[in-house]
Structure 1
Amino acid sequence: MEEKITPLGKLVFASKEEESNRLHALHKLHLLDSEDEESFDRITSSVAQTFRVPICLVSLIDKDRQWFKSCVGLPFRETEREAAFCQYAVASRQTVVVEDARDDGRFAHNRLVTVQGGIRFYAGAPLITGEGHILGTICIIDEQPRAFSIEEQKLLEQLATWVVSEIQLREALAVQRRMKQELEEELALAGRLQRQLCPKPFLDGRVTIKGKSVAAAVVSGDLFDFFWVNEERIFGYVADVMGHGVATALQASAVKVLMGQASGMTGGLDEKVGWVNKAAKDYMPEDYYFTALVFELDLPAGELSMVHAGNHIFWHDTPDSGWKQLRSPGMMLGLFEDVPFETVTRRLAAGDRYMLGTDGLWEFMLESGETDVERLYEDLENGSRFRDDRTAVYIELPLVEGEIGQDTVRSAKGRKKRKVHLQQVLNREALDSELPGLRMSIQAALLDASVEGIAMEVAVNEALNNAVDHGQPDGNISVTVTSSEALVVCRIRSERCGVQAVSARAGIPAAGSGLPGREEERGRGIYLMRSLTDRVKFSRDGCEVLLAVRRNKA
């Protein structure tokens, strides 16, 4: 045993090396200055009652103090180490019994003894960890001297193991909490990486493609992708791996790699999906599978080719028919090697829209009662806690050549020529004189296009008001009205735009959800446009709006 004299008294310890190791073990447990814990308080209360003493402590010996993890019978929680009886039990690695402190040379002049009502009796058993480090003691104290038998000493030492067990349990629980937190952080990172790997929307003049994937938990077994294979062809898919959790997310990553490899292969789309099916068996546990809807978009040919592999979540909208769900047969992937797949090819036409998704999207539709497919896509992140991942891909073709925000657009094959009913530019310098005439021209153009009723006229005038109110003073406004067999389309563009589309991008309610208040002036205008037409679309820069109505829209 070694000693060190300090201004406050004497420190005792086994050796410098052992003391350093002991303190390291103590600090690693984060017991010092921790909150009160019922499990330790139960022990000190029980021990005090067992030995019929007024004071019982779980004392931890720090570098220069003793601190009480649990305390019965004292109004304070720590003292300087020099005054601690318990440091002798720590240094000797043995139980220390002092039947009368005034007769013990080590403690007779200790301030905790000499004070009125001070310590007369002390017994402390060391708290020895499984690694052999002594953290402190469980000790009992009395203001009166008393004898302490060998049997009582053994009982106190047994109770010391109870304290050590509680410390070990506490540490095990702390380790579990840290591991849980680390796992949650890793999962959160994996979820962020999954989202970051999702493709950015295509806002090309020839086609718009965008996707969303919302995990039911942190990581998802759903995935989607779309990318240019060359300058004229797009490859894409949505897929749903059986199960949930980390293992499913890892399998989804493997599916992503396989789909990427298949996209560059020669042969038909059904052959590519067949190759993915065979290759996936190496990554799927027995009796596990995944579903997919794989597509290729050939813009010059004007064709959309699709392979349904156990996935039927697919809708198609045309300007003259509205949204319809389409189904095609197909076996899920990863179960059987020799499975034939069928390529279904659909002709593309102006204004066509498609949406494909996973089972979670279908469940969300049933849960929410939403029947508007486009609104379903927009609201994908909303809704109550859901059981399955939700994923959707939305594809839209331009309504007309020269889609908004673009100078030229490649036409899909088979597109019929559009008739121009009005093409006029409003000069802002002559706004007051020309605007009434332009409104009359719009009315005449819509009549010429056989648009019944005034709904389209009101919507167009709202868009025109928006352009007049929010465009720049030195920018002219152009208005075009065209028609085809199915659609009448009006395009209004400001040469120098202001904030024409801000309200649309800020979440103005969709048609049917209630008219905004009068203080939301722009919101009311955009709300009316959406309510009175079949399609409203703003350019990305907010300078242009396109309104479309079906021929049979009154």
Structure 2
Amino acid sequence: MDTPPEERFDRITRLAQSLFGVSSASISLIAENRQYLKSFVGPLARESDRGNAFCAETIKAPDTMIVENALTDERFRQSPLVTGRPHIQFYAGHPLTGPGGTHVGTFCIADQAPRRFSAEQQKILEDLTAIIQREMNLSWDIDTGARVQRALQPAIPSAPDGYSLGTCFYPASGVSGDFYEFGTTASGEFRITVGDAMGKGVGPGLVAGTVRAAFTHCDWEAEPARIFENVAGALDETLARVGSFATVFHAVVDPDTGAGRYADAGQALSHIVRADNTLERLSPTGPPLGLVPGQTWDTGTFTLHPGDAILVPTDGLLDLHGGELGPLGTAIGQLQDSDDADVAVRKLCDRRGKRVILDDITAVLLRRNASPA
């Protein structure tokens, strides 16, 4: 209910209006007291009272409801939709089913003149309804998957003393192929892991969950490169079987000294943002996980001085800033303009006013506070 129009549904209502030669076609959703048209074409209102809606009767039936002449139908001849605008006389509608099996709406056509509706036309209406139902089922599956994924996301911990932490996590279409992990090792180092499974949608979301699970069961005390090798050993066969791979960046930072160690499996977008807004890009230390079975990685080092930060994004952030490192670097260089790490990283990831991005966007910013004057 109350979601905006979508072309995938509008295309079907336009087709139905033309195909059947009727004045209107619509996809309706029925709530307790009102009818909401997810898509419609013709002289209809987006919202109306349920008590007057033909569709409120359609959802009670198991099959298509056909009213060839509403003026002679006892159920509808006194309806304000018949006696007044839009003066419906012909109606045909088929119920749409919700995830629990209950009828939640209809796909219907209507006209201002009585007409016969053949068995062949009824079959076409039901075929179009099946297409709409499939799209709705897909949406519900994705929405359910997104809710589960959000519920399974790890809690964002407090940053170490003397640091601030910011995150953004924006799926492209409900379920994200990105993931992140945070925590503190037994030796007191703060750890960050950010990954991106190849592709977008439900499949990559499942792969991302599998890769993340492998990391949650690893030995966090090991060197970053060794962690990658252990995780890859557990995942290579699985990733080969599904034909996928994942880019991952993992780092640990000693909060007392700012000394950091990292391994980068094909991510290649992480930067150290110095207090003076200069940037240092951290080079990858090996290929993506699952791309080259038996691969090894190197461990790199960095240091966060007071006022410095480390930014760890997935490649959706690169796409958001034009697909080139130059514009992305310019945007990253402005991160230090905000004192709040969370505000800064969310601003960097903000899609508003920018071109449509069809990739997941995830970014983590860990900033070491500047020394007191």
TM-score normalized by structure 2? Answer: 0.61
Instruction: Find the counterpart in structure 2 of residue 270 from structure 1.
Output: 225
1:166 aligns with 2:121: yes
Change (3 A) 1:246 1:380: same
Contact 2:168–2:345 (CA under 8 A) maintained in structure 1: no
Query: In structure 1, which of residues 374, 387, 405 is the aligned counterpart of residue 358 of structure 2?
Result: 387
Instruction: Find the counterpart in structure 1 of residue 41 from structure 2.
Output: none
Which whole-Å deviations, capped at 9, do the CAs of 1:469-526 have from their partners, x for residues lacking one?
xxxxxxxxxxxxx5xxxxxx3xxxxxxxxxxxxxxxxxxxxxxxxxxxxxxxxxxxxx
Which whole-Å deviations, capped at 9, do the CAs of 1:309-335 have from their partners, x for residues lacking one?
111101112335633323233111112
Contact 1:227–1:234 (CA under 8 A) maintained in structure 2: yes
Instruction: Find the counterpart in structure 1 of residue 175 from structure 2.
Output: 219
Which whole-Å deviations, capped at 9, do the CAs of 1:441-490 have from their partners, x for residues lacking one?
xxxxxxxxxxxxxxxxxxxxxxxxxxxxxxxxxxxxxxxxx5xxxxxx3x
Which whole-Å deviations, capped at 9, do the CAs of 1:1-51 have from their partners, x for residues lacking one?
xxxxxxxxxxxxxxxxxxxxxxxxxxxxxxxxxxx9887789xxxxxxxxx
Instruction: Find the counterpart in structure 2 of residue 291 from structure 1.
Output: 247
Which whole-Å deviations, capped at 9, do the CAs of 1:290-316 have from their partners, x for residues lacking one?
111111223356421100111110111
Which whole-Å deviations, capped at 9, do the CAs of 1:146-165 have from their partners, x for residues lacking one?
xxxxxxxxxxxxxx9x8234
Query: In structure 2, which of residues 200, 204, 208 is the aligned counterpart of residue 252 of structure 1?
Result: 208
Please give the alpha-carbon distance, in whole angstroms, between the structure 1 residues aligned to 2:167 and 2:133. 36
Please give the alpha-carbon distance, in whole angstroms, between the structure 2 residues aligned to 1:286 and 1:329. 24
Query: In structure 2, which of residues 297, 304, 321 is the aligned counterpart of residue 341 of structure 1?
Result: 297
SS in 1 for 2:173: coil
Change (3 A) 1:336 1:345: same
Change (3 A) 1:205 1:298: closer
Query: In structure 2, which of residues 260, 268, 273 is the aligned counterpart of residue 304 of structure 1?
Result: 260
Contact 1:68–1:77 (CA under 8 A) maintained in structure 2: no
Change (3 A) 1:366 1:199: farther
Contact 1:201–1:210 (CA under 8 A) maintained in structure 2: no
Change (3 A) 1:166 1:324: same
Please give the alpha-carbon distance, in whole angstroms, between the structure 1 residues aligned to 2:167 and 2:274. 20
1:187 aligns with 2:142: yes
Q: Superposed, which structure 2 residues align to 1:105-504 within 5 Å?
A: 163-196=118-151, 197-200=153-156, 202-230=158-186, 232-262=188-218, 264=219, 267-284=222-239, 285=241, 287-300=243-256, 302-320=258-276, 322-366=278-322, 369=327, 371-373=330-332, 374=335, 377-382=346-351, 383-400=354-371, 489=373
Please give the alpha-carbon distance, in whole angstroms, between the structure 1 residues aligned to 2:135 and 2:166. 35
CA RMSD of aligned residues (A): 3.3
Which whole-Å deviations, capped at 9, do the CAs of 1:214-260 have from their partners, x for residues lacking one?
12222211222212233712222111111121111111111110111
Please give the alpha-carbon distance, in whole angstroms, between the structure 1 residues aligned to 2:146 and 2:282. 32
Cα drift, residue 198 of structure 1? 5.0
Please give the alpha-carbon distance, in whole angstroms, between the structure 1 residues aligned to 2:144 and 2:357. 21
Change (3 A) 1:195 1:210: farther
SS in 2 for 1:208: strand
Which whole-Å deviations, capped at 9, do the CAs of 1:159-188 have from their partners, x for residues lacking one?
x9x823433443343344234223212212
Please give the alpha-carbon distance, in whole angstroms, between the structure 1 residues aligned to 2:188 and 2:169. 26
Change (3 A) 1:164 1:343: same
Q: Superposed, which structure 2 residues align to 1:6-45 within 5 Å?
A: none
Please give the alpha-carbon distance, in whole angstroms, between the structure 1 residues aligned to 2:305 and 2:19. 73
Contact 2:235–2:290 (CA under 8 A) maintained in structure 1: yes
Q: Superposed, which structure 2 residues align to 1:513-532 within 5 Å?
A: none
Please give the alpha-carbon distance, in whole angstroms, between the structure 1 residues aligned to 2:19 and 2:319. 47
Which whole-Å deviations, capped at 9, do the CAs of 1:349-388 have from their partners, x for residues lacking one?
2222110111111222336946131256523132221132
Contact 2:178–2:196 (CA under 8 A) maintained in structure 1: yes
Instruction: Find the counterpart in structure 2 of residue 78 from structure 1.
Output: 73
SS in 1 for 2:183: strand
Please give the alpha-carbon distance, in whole angstroms, between the structure 2 residues aligned to 1:248 and 1:68. 43
Instruction: Find the counterpart in structure 1 of residue 44 from structure 2.
Output: none
Please give the alpha-carbon distance, in whole angstroms, between the structure 2 residues aligned to 1:350 and 1:265. 25
Amino acid corresponding to residue 303 of structure 2 in structure 1: R
Contact 1:251–1:283 (CA under 8 A) maintained in structure 2: no
**Which residues of structure 1 form unaligned runs of 5+?**
1-35, 43-59, 81-159, 401-481, 483-488, 490-554
Amino acid corresponding to residue 343 of structure 1 in structure 2: T
Please give the alpha-carbon distance, in whole angstroms, between the structure 2 residues aligned to 1:68 and 1:211. 53
- Count of residue pairs brought into register by the alignment: 262
Amino acid corresponding to residue 183 of structure 1 in structure 2: L
Contact 2:166–2:345 (CA under 8 A) maintained in structure 1: no
Please give the alpha-carbon distance, in whole angstroms, between the structure 2 residues aligned to 1:261 and 1:201. 18
Please give the alpha-carbon distance, in whole angstroms, between the structure 2 residues aligned to 1:296 and 1:348. 11
Q: Percent identity?
A: 19
Cα drift, residue 398 of structure 1? 2.1
**Which residues of structure 2 form unaligned runs of 5+?**
1-15, 23-57, 76-115, 336-343
- Asked which structure has the greater RCO (Cα within 8 Å, sep 6+), the reply is 2
Change (3 A) 1:376 1:68: closer
Contact 1:254–1:283 (CA under 8 A) maintained in structure 2: no
SS in 2 for 1:178: helix
